[in-house]
Structure 1
């Protein structure tokens, strides 16, 4: 179930939100809801993503050696083992 929240914004900001919503084929409510979710997102997740990507890049050879059948060179476009 959702709750209503009333906020006050300037007419200019409201117009900008309406323009952006129209351009993205969405609603002002959806834009504001996503902005609220972003505001609550744990900032540590951003750095964790970068650390994980660096780890994978640094250790790609070891992963390929340990799991040769799953190495990217042996997978088809769908991620399945190539025939």
Structure 2
């Protein structure tokens, strides 16, 4: 699964992208975030406050409780604002 990180999430994780193979039992995006947070101190810092995270699975915005299904790409980023 390809992970993409943007803005301060990328800065804390230390990379803009990585390929991961989550263990069995990772069913939802929230499960994935919990697992990712164990990968490094940077991951833990990036995912410490879920209220500040938004996500997309295969380029479609989703909530953190969304099932992963056969996701190929997951993007995690801070809330987006604009005019």
TM-score between both structures, scaled by the size of structure 2: 0.25
Q: Which is strand-richer, 1 or 2?
A: 2
Q: Which has the larger radius of gyration?
A: 1
Q: Which has the higher helix share?
A: 1
| Higher RCO (C-alpha under 8 Å, 6+ residues apart) | 2
TM-score (norm 1): 0.25
